[in-house]
């Protein structure tokens, strides 16, 4: 089996796995798991500045999961939050990026809040652009396989590499948003504004959506490398086929032959006179 067929098959499988993992991570709400020990907080409300009303109404005091678009409460839901039932039967609230909300007023935001907001918007945009590159790579890949074109396959490799870079950039911006929310922003509801009791009883860990997002980025890189190798294989195979065809198309020239010369060139024996007998003069 030619190396191009094997490499193309592996590259296609890696690309499918990559886009599936990135799409799952993009649409799910399990990038972070924030576990809150409500029992310990409730037992120590008297020595903190947390009111019982806040403890019952605000989502900060509930165990929750956080994604790119939603914050969901898998165990209990806060009474004071505007929630809706997600497709996976979990009560969630949207993360506001202030894009299509005409009533949103960002003029009162601090510089750090605006930086965080711009990074969050750019993060979503980079993921969307990476999916666009994968969509275009699908068509160039189909054309390359159909025509066995090294150029089309090389273009597919470049597009998959761009998809990898843009999705990796989105992951980097996600970490930037996380840093600003945890360290830079001092006002509610960000972590720096939490009370000491809430900090002590809250554990934040990365969840499975975050991990499969990074795995999807890695598979996109592997796919780009395999498509590049398939392009090299196709080019080598085409050169060998062209060389073989040229051997059959080479013109065949006739070889030089020794033609008999007149006169002394004829073989003997030679007879003088007529073969019908001598003439008598």
* Tens-place pLDDT, residues 28-40: 999 999 999 999 9
Domains of the chain: 3-98+109-237 (1.20.140.150)
Which position has the token pair 């934040």?
A: 204
Tell if the pTM clears 0.85, that is, is over it.
Answer: no
Averaged over 270-279, what is the pLDDT? 50
Averaged over 102-107, what is the pLDDT? 66
Per-residue pLDDT, 49: 84
Q: How many of the other CB atoms lie within 10 Å of CB of 18?
A: 26
* Tens-place pLDDT, residues 148-169: 788 889 999 999 999 999 999 9
CB 31 within 8 A of CB 68: yes
* 140 has pLDDT over 60: yes
Q: DSSP string of 128-159?
A: HHHHHHHHHHHHHHHHHHHHT-HHHHHHHHHH
| Helices within the chain (DSSP H only) | 3-27, 38-43, 52-57, 111-147, 150-179, 196-200, 208-249
């Amino acid at each position: 089996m030619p190396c191009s067929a094997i490499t193309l098959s592996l590259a296609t499988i890696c690309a499918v796995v990559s886009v599936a993992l990135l799409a799952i991570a993009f649409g799910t709400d399990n990038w972070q798991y924030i576990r809150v020990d409500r029992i310990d907080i409730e037992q120590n409300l008297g020595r903190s500045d947390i009111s019982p009303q806040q403890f019952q109404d605000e989502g900060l005091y509930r165990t929750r999961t956080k994604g790119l678009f939603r914050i969901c409460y898998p165990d209990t839901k806060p009474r004071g939050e505007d929630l809706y039932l997600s497709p996976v039967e979990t009560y969630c609230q949207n993360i506001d990026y202030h894009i299509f909300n005409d009533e949103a007023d960002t003029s009162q935001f601090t510089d750090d809040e605006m930086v965080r907001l711009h990074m969050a918007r750019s993060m979503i945009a980079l993921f969307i652009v990476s999916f666009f590159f994968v969509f275009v790579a699908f068509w160039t890949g189909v054309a390359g396989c159909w025509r066995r074109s090294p150029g089309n396959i090389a273009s597919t490799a470049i597009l998959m590499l761009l998809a990898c870079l843009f999705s990796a950039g989105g992951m980097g911006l996600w970490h930037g948003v996380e840093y600003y929310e945890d360290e830079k922003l001092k006002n509610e509801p960000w972590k720096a504004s939490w009370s000491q009791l809430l900090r002590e009883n809250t554990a934040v860990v990365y969840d499975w959506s975050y991990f499969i997002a990074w795995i999807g980025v890695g598979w996109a890189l592997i796919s780009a490398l395999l498509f590049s190798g398939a392009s090299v294989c196709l080019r080598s195979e085409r050169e060998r086929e062209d060389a073989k065809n040229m051997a059959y198309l080479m013109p065949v020239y006739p070889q030089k032959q020794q033609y008999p010369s007149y006169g002394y060139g004829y073989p003997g024996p030679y007879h003088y006179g007529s073969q019908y007998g001598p003439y008598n003069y």
